[in-house]
Amino acid sequence: MPSVRLVNIAKRYGEITAAENVNLQIENKEYICIIGPSGCGKTTLIKCIAGIIEPTEGEVYIDGKLLNKVPIQERGVGYVFQEIALFPHMNIYENVSYGPFVKGWDPEKAGSLVEEMLNMMALRERAKDQPNVLSEGAQQKTAIARAFVSGSLLLLLDEPLGSLDAKVRTVLRHELKRMVKDLGLTAVHVTHDQEEAMAIADRIIVMKAGRIIEAGTPVELYLSPRALFTANFVGEANFMVGEVMQVTNKGVYVKMNGAVLHSSGKVDFKEKKVVVAIRPEFVGMEKSGVRREAWKGTVENVIFMGGTVRYEVRTDNGELIVVKRPFASDTYRWDAGSHVYLVFPPNAVLLYPYPKAGLEKEISVE
């Protein structure tokens, strides 16, 4: 029995459509991340699940029960807010024990639960402090603890790490995932940070402009994204426009700007005009043009990024290709101005029909 089911959810505010045509199923104990640019409807969606927003159309089911008319406080769903929203007039202990308190639980039982949670979060020492004296990371952990203690099996998180420093985020996200799994909860975690989603999600749902674009595991979305937007939003990609020249059993040959690309992907669409996408780390870079199909180019820019080096290469046929190579294992490094040969492994060349809205608009992350 799926934990959460959304059927044909739509939310409109007059002329504006915040979400539309959303159908979603989340299994018990799954850790789902919903990602997308600001305004794509991801927050609207979890607010519909929590009951904070009433959908204009569609149904919300939790554990098989239709919840459309059920008020927030009866839904038994834990929620972590983007603004953290710790009660400023209560101390940490009171904040975390608020759930059991208002539900009238046996004070002793509640007390031990709260103690346990505070220990798990390493917040025991700060129990008597007011929220405003804690660091943002600690505040967010408190908010998460508060949602955990409320006893619900479904946890909704709205940009829970959004207000934190980059470094703190990378550390806290793993702790968060671990705790959710240890407690056996189902989690729906909304974020605009695709790296965060990739790191912790069992499954990722990509949204744009109120609709679900694609859903899949991190590996699927990264290595074989089905939508053009996903290819750009999850990770980075080089995009080129061309025309399908030939389809054989060894793959597809695409013609562009005086060169040909071989893709092992399938073309299950009719359009001749296509967009080719290839991730920067899959582009091969070689000193000499041994291979026939290698593209010759000049390095325009070299950016050292720590573990990787980012090369911006202007190919002879006018394209600008970004190549990312690991720093450590590279025996040879190029400088700006060097000549290189680029190789595109066929199984890394992704194909998409040219979008009606135009390429720039389709992949825009704004």
Q: Is residue 335 part of the contact set for other proteins (CB under 8 A)?
A: no
Q: Using CB under 8 A, pick the residue from 14, 184, 307, 337 that binds other proteins.
A: 307
Cβ-based neighbour number of residue 250 at 10 Å: 10
Q: Is residue 85 part of the contact set for other proteins (CB under 8 A)?
A: yes
Q: CA 333 → CA 61, 323, 325, 351, distances in Å?
A: 55, 12, 9, 30
Q: Is residue 43 part of the contact set for other proteins (CB under 8 A)?
A: no
Q: Using CB under 8 A, pick the residue from 329, 331, 337, 356 that binds other proteins.
A: 329
Listed in sequence order, the DSSP H helices in the chain are: 42-50, 92-96, 98-102, 107-120, 136-149, 166-183, 194-200, 218-223, 228-233, 359-363
Q: Which stretch binds other proteins (CB under 8 A): 78-86, 112-120, 246-254, 334-342?
A: 78-86
Q: CA 286 → CA 290, 308, 314, 325, distances in Å?
A: 9, 16, 14, 12
Which lies closer to other proteins via its Cβ, residue 66 or residue 320? Answer: 320
Rounded distance between C-alpha atoms, residue 177 and residue 198, angstroms: 12
Q: Is residue 260 part of the contact set for other proteins (CB under 8 A)?
A: no
Q: Using CB under 8 A, pick the residue from 7, 25, 37, 271 that binds other proteins.
A: 37
Which lies closer to other proteins via its Cβ, residue 41 or residue 78? Answer: 78
> Are the C-beta atoms of 156 and 50 separated by less than 8 Å?
yes
Q: Is residue 281 part of the contact set for other proteins (CB under 8 A)?
A: yes
Q: Is residue 166 part of the contact set for other proteins (CB under 8 A)?
A: yes
Which lies closer to other proteins via its Cβ, residue 167 or residue 292? Answer: 167
Q: Using CB under 8 A, pick the residue from 8, 21, 23, 135 that binds other proteins.
A: 135
Angle between helices 166-183 and 136-149 (to 10 degrees): 20
Q: Using CB under 8 A, pick the residue from 21, 87, 133, 245 that binds other proteins.
A: 87
Q: Is residue 236 part of the contact set for other proteins (CB under 8 A)?
A: yes
DSSP 104-135: T--HHHHHHHHHHHHHHTT-GGGTTS-GGGS-
Q: Is residue 103 part of the contact set for other proteins (CB under 8 A)?
A: yes
Q: Which stretch binds other proteins (CB under 8 A): 10-18, 21-29, 98-106, 286-294?
A: 98-106
> Are the C-beta atoms of 12 and 21 separated by less than 8 Å?
no
Q: Is residue 352 part of the contact set for other proteins (CB under 8 A)?
A: no
Q: Is residue 184 part of the contact set for other proteins (CB under 8 A)?
A: no
Q: Is residue 357 part of the contact set for other proteins (CB under 8 A)?
A: no
Taking the complex as a whole, how short is the minimal distance between the CB of residue 162 and other proteins, in angstroms? 10
Measure the CA angle with vertex 311, ends 305 and 313; round to 5°: 165
> Are the C-beta atoms of 176 and 141 separated by less than 8 Å?
no
Taking the complex as a whole, how short is the minimal distance between the CB of residue 216 and other proteins, in angstroms? 12
> β-strand 4-13 against 57-62: which pairing, if any?
antiparallel
Amino acid of residue 157: L
Q: Using CB under 8 A, pick the residue from 175, 195, 202, 271 that binds other proteins.
A: 195
Q: Using CB under 8 A, pick the residue from 89, 128, 292, 356 that binds other proteins.
A: 89
Q: Which stretch binds other proteins (CB under 8 A): 62-70, 180-188, 227-235, 290-298?
A: 227-235
> Are the C-beta atoms of 50 and 77 separated by less than 8 Å?
yes
Q: Is residue 256 part of the contact set for other proteins (CB under 8 A)?
A: yes
Rounded distance between C-alpha atoms, residue 24 and residue 268, angstroms: 25
- List, edge to edge, every strand of the sheet that includes 284-286: 284-286, 339-343, 295-304, 308-315, 320-326
Which lies closer to other proteins via its Cβ, residue 239 or residue 334? Answer: 239
Supply the Cα-derived Rg of the chain in whole angstroms: 24
Q: Is residue 234 part of the contact set for other proteins (CB under 8 A)?
A: yes
Taking the complex as a whole, how short is the minimal distance between the CB of residue 260 and other proteins, in angstroms? 14
Which lies closer to other proteins via its Cβ, residue 233 or residue 352? Answer: 233
Q: Using CB under 8 A, pick the residue from 64, 65, 69, 73 that binds other proteins.
A: 73
